[in-house]
Each structure stands twice: as structure tokens, then as C-alpha cells.
Amino acid sequence: MEKWKTLGYYNGVFGPLEEMTVPMNDRACYFGDGVYEAAYVGNYRIFTLDDHVDRIYRSASMAEIEIPCTKDEMKAVLTEMAQKLESPEQVIYWQVTRGTAMRAHVYPDRSVKANLWITCTPKAIVNAYRKIRVITAEDTRFFHCNIKTLNLMVNCMLSEQAKKAGCEEAIQHRGDRVTEGTHSNVSILKDGVFQTAPTDNLILPGITRAHLIEICRRLSVPVREEPYTVQELMDADEIIISSSTGFARSVCEADGRPVGGKAPKLLKALQDALREEFIADTGIDPGLVPSGDS
Ligand code: PDD
């Protein structure tokens, strides 16, 4: 099989990602009118693929976008693309946009089909145990954060702000209430309880978050899906940042102040369980990479 360094796919046509072009009238270009997913690939296997495919169908349904293939067809094409990449360790990203039509805010005619985009890019696995630094920032996004849409302008602005502060993530809050990161969910451990924001319209229902909740239930760790404040975040025994590409790493510093580090055993038990799920699925160990990684 021919192997590629990077791969871009658009409605059945694929080639090196850097050389791919798309129609200007794709509604992604004007409105960011589409929904997406990103998953980690180890050994050419897409981790938690079923969960991601289920979620993009849910996002599309909330956005009234009709996905032009079945779930099984989507899984098949994603798996095929992942296998074409040279690197066995990748991020696979895909989006479905509301089709191609002259610019108009209203939806195009029903005869206009949605577009499927896929990218595969090599990405070394991160060390699931490495601690990270964060900033906190007001969440000024809209009220549809449960839909994984392409509209990520604020997420980008805050990611950049975090980077300028020498940090890896910005934890957002609406007033006092912690919502989520710019590309991750945020949970805390306090007095043996795993607490995480509820899955309302203010956060994305993260797949890693859902797996952590399942793990807690298995390990008899109490789970509280209730809002918590910035003060509670700062006072937490541990702060956990979770995402498909970053696992469930903990925070050692927020806004320049030391945080967490007070429940290392429980934290490690959760991280170990997630790591085991990943190894079982892919055969790759996210605990064995050198700690200077990203
Ligand atoms: N982002 N919240 C937001 C806003 C996100 O963008 C993400 C993931 C998450 C975590 O969800 P999950 O555990 O399902 O990856 C929460 C991906 C990684 C991205 O945008 O690249």
C-alpha cells in the first residue's frame, strides 16, 4: 500500500494534505458551518472511534446537518485513511460541513449535500503523566458549546494567550463557574471525589471525560457532575485536563500559582486505568515516552 507523510481527504479525493484544495464556496470558509472530531491513532488504530463517530452524528443533528454517509461507512473511510499514513501514531481529524453554495446565511437547498473532510497527520504520543501549566480566563464563547462546531475563534484566542504566558491550556470560567479548557475538559479531585462540570450547553461532552467517569465508577470513586467555582479549582487536590490527544494530565500551576499535587495516588489510579484502556485498544503505551514531550 502506498504510504503518505500527511493526508487530506475531501469527498472521496485524497492526497498530500499540503497540496489539497477545497471549493471557496464550502460553507466552512464563510461561516465555519460544520462539525468536527479529532481522535488519536496508535498502531493505525483509532482510539474510541465509535464514541467519536456517535458524537459527530449528535453534533450534526443539533446543527441540522445531514451527514452523507452511514456511521459504518464513516468508520471505514476513517480507518482506511489512517492506514495510509506512514506514521502509525497520528491525529485523525474530520469534519462535516453544510455543503457548497453561494454565500447566504440561510441553509442551502436540501439537494446540496454535506462535505466530508479528513486529515491525517503524524503526532507523537504525549506522556499521559506529565504535569502542565495553565492560565484561567473568562469564557466569552457562545451558548452552544455542546456542539463540536468549527467556530473556535475564542478557543484560539485563549490558546494563544496561554502560550504567551508559557502555559499549555487556558481554563475558562463564566463568572465564577469553571466551564472547560480551550480544547479539553477540566475536572477536579477533592476529598476523594471526582468533580466535573455537567454536560449542559456550556461544555463539550468530552469522550475522555466520559471514560474517566466510567473508570471512577469502576474504582468506586464518587463522581459529582456539578458546577464548581474558580476558587474550588484553585483549592482542588488535583486538577485534571482531559482530551483525546492529551489523555488526563494534571495541572501543577495555574496563573503562576502552584496548584494540585495533593492526591497523587488517586490521580495515578485514574491515569493508569485510562492508559490501560489505550494500551488494550492500540498496543501503544502513553506512559513510556520521555517526559519532555508535548
Ligand atoms: N478537542 N472541550 C473542548 C472545547 C474540546 O475542543 C475538546 C477536544 C474537549 C475534550 O474532548 P475529548 O475528550 O472528546 O477529546 C473538551 C480536540 C482534541 C481538538 O479540538 O483538537
DSSP string, 267-292: HHHHHHHHHHHHHHHHS--TTSS-TT
Q: Would you report the helix, strand and coil content of the chain in percent, each value rounded to 5?
A: 30, 30, 40
Helix (H, G, I), strand (E, B) or coil at 139: coil
Q: What's the 109 CA to ligand 1 centre distance in angstroms?
A: 31
Q: Which of 140, 162, 136 is nearest to 153 (CA)?
A: 140
Read off the pLDDT band of 287 (50, 70, 90).
Answer: confident
Choosing from 3, 75, 113, 148, the catalytic residue is 148
Pocket residue to mutate for ligand 1, from 37, 144, 211, 244, most atoms within 8 A of Cβ: 244
| pLDDT above 90: residue 294 | no
- CB-based contacts of 184-187 (< 8 A; 24+ apart in sequence): 184/241, 184/242, 184/243, 184/246, 185/209, 185/241, 185/242, 185/243, 186/233, 186/239, 186/240, 186/241, 186/242, 187/212, 187/239, 187/240, 187/242
Read off the pLDDT band of 285 (50, 70, 90).
Answer: confident
Mean pLDDT of the chain: 96
Do 112 and 100 touch, CB atoms closer than 8 A?
A: yes
Residue 201 to residue 217: CA distance in whole angstroms: 24
- Tens digits of per-residue pLDDT, 179-229? 999 999 999 999 999 999 999 999 999 999 999 999 999 999 999 999 999
Query: What is the residue with the minimal CA distance to atom 1 of ligand 1?
Result: 183
Query: What is the residue with the minimal CA distance to atom 6 of ligand 1?
Result: 183
Q: What's the 185 CA to ligand 1 centre distance in angstroms?
A: 7
What is the structure's pLDDT at 204? 98
Is 262 labeled as catalytic in the residue annotation?
no
Q: What's the 204 CA to ligand 1 centre distance in angstroms?
A: 7
Contacts of 233 (CB under 8 A, 6+ apart): 136, 171, 173, 178, 186, 188, 239, 254, 259
Looking at the CA of residue 204, tell me the nearest atom of ligand 1. Answer: 2
Instruction: Give the mean pLDDT of 256-267.
Output: 98
Residue 216 to residue 239: CA distance in whole angstroms: 15
- Residue 250 burial (10 A CB sphere; 0-12, 13-18, 19+): buried
In this structure, the residues whose C-beta lies within 6 A of any atom of ligand 1 are 38, 180, 183-185, 204, 206-209, 242-245
